[in-house]
Amino acid sequence: MINASYPATRLRRTRATGWSRAMHRETVLTPADLIWPLFVTDGSNVEEPVTSLPGVSRWSVDGIAKRAKEAVDLGIPCIALFPNTQPEKRSDDGAEALNPDNLMCRAIKAVRDACGSDIGILTDVALDPYTSHGQDGLLDDRGYVVNDDTVAVLVDQAVNQADAGADIIAPSDMMDGRVKAIRMALEMNRHPTVQIMAYSAKYASAFYGPFRDAVGSGGLLKGDKKSYQMDPANGDEALREIAFDIAEGADSVMVKPGLAYLDVIWRAKQEFHVPVFAYQVSGEYALIEAGAAAGVGDRDALLMEKLVAFKRAGCSGVLTYHAPRAAELLNG
């Protein structure tokens, strides 16, 4: 331990000028640290603003391809796709998730055609965008989300997306054992290089409301998701979930939401030394926008400070709806 004393040590010396602050900065954020979530909707040349997410829209497949090109130009390495499935294509068993011509698969192919291998495509694996009841899995007669039968469908959904050209499969369902099952299926179906980014510590959070509006499941949800998403009071349990997913073949893990769980991010990075990502979820994004609109602070300063906090806590990257604006600021 160094016994520093004043005035031999003045900690303000290195903060006195902009060049010095830049030179001594411990945490560096770049566009390569960002993943841009995008919502896909049906139709052609469609942009549908999401009311509860100011500045965020649903885009038809052609629009998604244009956003992907924009991401490449900004230096954002990866986009994450989420479909807003039409109500008539939703069902109790979420069968549309297995359709090789569904919205997700068409968007994947459009992005691949537009950008080639210049951008990564991350796809969500869960049934809530496809079920008529808004839950992430199949229900039994009691309305309980059953685990193993759901995993069997998730495996087929993951392979369907990999066949379409997905680079990263991101199971967000929180079913036990799904990472191992998906990893084995990807290997067996000649997708050994497709990554798995597991939503390993996904909490039953109050911050998901705008997202559910964006994918059209908010008004459909019957009950809650507390029987499979994690209790916000638990941190040790998150480390157990992460350990299981790593052992089952996850290439990286995610903590969701982000800002309220920086301690979990830090602990995961210190414990496992694997790539840890955070999802700055829709409610977190919306609070920044609402706060800036109310004059709480400068929008750009607020969003950048929070993104740096994720990196400082140990994140390899952040999924954020602010990705394009953050990239613009970082690019000067």
Q: How far apart are CA 60 and CA 70, in angstroms?
A: 15
Where in the sequence numbering do the catalytic residues fall?
202, 256
265: number of CA atoms within 13 Å, CB side? 25
Say if CB 242 and CB 201 are below 8 A apart: yes
Distance CA 175, CA 293 (A): 38
Which pLDDT score, from 0 to 100, does residue 32 have?
98
DSSP letter string over 104-173? Answer: HHHHHHHHHHHHTTSSEEEEEE-STTTBSS--SS-B-TTS-B-HHHHHHHHHHHHHHHHHHT-SEEEE-S
Phi, psi of 322 (to 5 degrees): -85, 5
Spell out the CATH class of 28-330: alpha beta
Tell me what the pLDDT averaged over the chain comes to. 96
Domain ranges of the chain: 28-330
Q: Which pLDDT tens digit goes with each residue over 113-144?
A: 999 999 999 999 999 999 999 999 999 999 99
Question: What pTM does this model have?
Answer: 0.96
Torsion, CA 240, CA 128, CA 214, CA 156, rounded to 10? 90
Which pLDDT belongs to residue 221?
A: 84
Q: What does the pLDDT average to over 75-79?
A: 98
Q: Which secondary-structure segment (H or E) carries 283?
A: helix 282-293
Residue 331 has pLDDT above 90, yes or no: yes
